[in-house]
Every structure is written in C-alpha cells, then in structure tokens.
Amino acid sequence: MVGAGVVGLSVAHELARSGHEVRIVAAREAPDSVSGVAAAIWFPHDVDHSPAVLDSAAVTYRRLAELAGDPRTGVHLRRGTVLSRRAEVDTSWTRAVPHTEPAGPDGLPAGASGIRCTVPLVETSTYLGWLRETVTGLGVRIRAAEFASVGDVLRQDDADVLVVAAGLRSAALLGDDDVSFPIRGQVVRLANPGLTDWITDDDNPGGLTYVVPRRDDVVCGGTGDVGSWDEQVDPDVEAAILRRVTELVPQLAGQPVLSRAAGLRPGRAGVRLEAVAGHDRPVYACYGHGGAGFTLSWGDAARVAALIGASET
Ligand SMILES: Cc1cc2nc3c(=O)[nH]c(=O)nc-3n(C[C@H](O)[C@H](O)[C@H](O)COP(=O)(O)OP(=O)(O)OC[C@H]3O[C@@H](n4cnc5c(N)ncnc54)[C@H](O)[C@@H]3O)c2cc1C
C-alpha cells in the first residue's frame, strides 16, 4: 500500500483483519499529513453526496460511534448544529445519522436554519496514534519511502496487490487522473473556554466557518480554496476566521491562540475507489475524499477490502 494517512491506515486495518499480509510505504506519518490538520468531525464535507458516499459515511458513523466507547481511541460523540443560510437545504447526509432534529431559533443567525445532531468527533492527535498502533498490532509494517509513480512502487516491491491511498498525491502517482485538485483549508486552534457543542456554517457570507471544540482546544475554521496549493498560514485569513467564529460563538472572544495550520484537502470530482487497469499486478485506488477523509474512512476501507476479496475468489 502507499499512504499512511487516515485512509491508508483504515484500509490496512481492514485488509489485515481479513487475513492479508500488509505493508505500507509512506512519505510521511499520519500526524504530518493532511490527516493531522483535520478538525476532525464526522460530516460528508467537500465531497459529493452520492449513495456510495452516504453508505460509507453511515458505516463510518457506526464504527466511530463504537470506538467512542473506548477512551484510548480519542473518539467522542458530540452534539452540534449544521447551519444553513439557503432556501434549498441539502439534507441528504441526515440518512447516515441515527437522529436529527431542527434547531430552535434561539442563537441562530438571522435568516439561518439549523439541524441538530450528535456525530463522532475524532481527536486526531490521539486517534491517529491509536490507529497506527492497532494496525501495527495486526502485523502491518510501515516503512518511510517516497515514490514518484506507481510503476516505481511496483518495481521496488513484490506485493501481489497495490492499494494507492496517498491522498492528494495519488493522482500524480497513478498518472491517469485529471479530475483531482486541492481544496485549501486553514484553521486556528484556540484555548477551549468550556465549549462542547460544535457548529458548522458553510453558507456564512464571509466564507466557510466552523467551530469544533475538542478536549484541549477549539478548532476554528476555515477556508475552502479550490485549486490553491498554498500550505502556508495566511495571517489575514486567520484574522477573518477569528472575526467570523467570534460572531457565531461569542465565548471565543479573547481566547489565546494555541496553534494554527493549513492543509490541502484531496478534492476530486467523486471519490476514486476502484481497480486501476494497465499495471503488471492488480492496483486499487482509494482517494479523493475532500473534506471527509475521516467521515468515509471505515466505510471505504471496508469497500476496498471487499473489492480485493471479490477479485481473489
Ligand atoms: C483544514 C481541514 C479540515 C478538515 N476537516 C475534516 C473533518 O472535519 N472531517 C473529515 O472527515 N475530514 C476533514 N478533513 C479532510 C481530511 O483531513 C482528509 O480527507 C483526509 O485526511 C485524507 O486522508 P488521506 O489518508 O487520503 O490523505 P493524507 O492524510 O494526505 O495521507 C496521504 C498519505 O500518503 C502518503 N504519500 C503521499 N504521496 C506519497 C508518495 N509519492 N510516496 C509515498 N507516500 C506518499 C503521505 O505521506 C501520507 O502518508 C479536513 C482537512 C483539512 C485540510
């Protein structure tokens, strides 16, 4: 496999659990990849809401909800509000969530509506370490290496099957995909004044806005700059994020900044989860999860394992 982000580790887990011997090569470990920048709340964001995506989101919801029972995982179930400021509200995602209800008007911005629900929240610093440990506990070996192409990987590794789960760089590795693109996201993490409820406000007139309280901080975002490869934090963008989140959640005013980050979501015109022809051994692609890599991780990992299993029978 190529890739040790949340998607690669989840796929490795499901393959190892179904009896495969799995090796991962990855340029960087998950905390130093895009997976380490995420908020990471369960929500199918920056990804199409096709039936396959919503099925994967539902499978992942259930798996993460189970994991929330184990404090070592860093997964929690948290209540919050999905705000909308448009007449036609996309509620397709609600079918992947056990229970939702309309938010009362109190505290909502003028003209906005809201859906209240409980979803898994992943504390990435704990979860990615737990996932890596669990995966290596299943016998998966992880080696640091960077490759320019799938051909190079196949020349250097005698694996029977190769899975490419390299996030945004997957398209370049495979060389047959021109519908992948970065979606730049910037966040600023503030000290948590005691918040537990999250809120997302995609239609905020100032730009994508969200507040995701975690145990030790509050992740405040964001941006969704399609096509931008800029991984540097922009202070003007941060100031604008702080203005918007403080307007939405006044308790955040004056909270100290703990850290800041920018990352490139692996955008694509549809998640790519399929066998890729044209190589001397079977190659599978699993990438293009946009702002939903955590949200789709377990569902898509199970689908990759099923695809590979079906090809072997
Ligand atoms: C600001 C921000 C907020 C987000 N919030 C959320 C959220 O709330 N919920 C959610 O579900 N998602 C969220 N996301 C999206 C989520 O982070 C991504 O969808 C997810 O991390 C993608 O995981 P991945 O494993 O595919 O890729 P990555 O995490 O990028 O991992 C890629 C792996 O492949 C390896 N690799 C890449 N190229 C090569 C190469 N050439 N050779 C060898 N190895 C290679 C890397 O080193 C790494 O190990 C957010 C993203 C951002 C930027």
Is 127 within a domain? Answer: yes
pLDDT at 186: 98
| pLDDT tens string 103-148 | 988 878 988 999 999 999 999 999 999 999 999 999 999 999 999 9
pLDDT at 313: 74
pLDDT at 285: 98
Residue nearest ligand 1's atom 49 by CA:
4
The complex scores an ipTM of 0.99
pLDDT at 106: 83
pLDDT at 39: 87
The total of structural domains in the chain comes to: 1
Distance CA(34)–CA(54), nearest Å, equals: 22
Domain that holds residue 154: 6-312
| pLDDT tens string 5-17 | 999 999 999 999 9
Which residue out of 29, 33, 210, 300 has the highest number of ligand 1 atoms within 8 Å of its CB and is therefore the one to mutate? 33
Is 51 within a domain? Answer: yes
Residue 181 Cα to ligand 1 midpoint, Å, equals 13
Is 32 within a domain? Answer: yes
Residue nearest ligand 1's atom 19 by CA:
293
Is 1 within a domain? Answer: no
- Sites in the chain below the pLDDT cut of 70: none
pLDDT at 124: 96
Is 99 within a domain? Answer: yes
pLDDT at 182: 98
Residue 37 Cα to ligand 1 midpoint, Å, equals 8
CATH code at position 233: 3.30.9.10
Is 220 within a domain? Answer: yes
| Residue 210 labelled as part of a binding site | yes
Residue nearest ligand 1's atom 21 by CA:
35
pLDDT at 58: 98
Atom of ligand 1 nearest to the CA of 210: 8
Which residue out of 1, 6, 135 has the highest number of ligand 1 atoms within 8 Å of its CB and is therefore the one to mutate? 6
Ligand 1 neighbours (beta carbon < 6 A) = 2-8, 25-28, 33-35, 37-41, 146-147, 165-167, 169, 173, 185, 187, 221-222, 263, 265-266, 287, 289, 291-295
Is 171 within a domain? Answer: yes
pLDDT at 190: 98
pLDDT at 204: 96
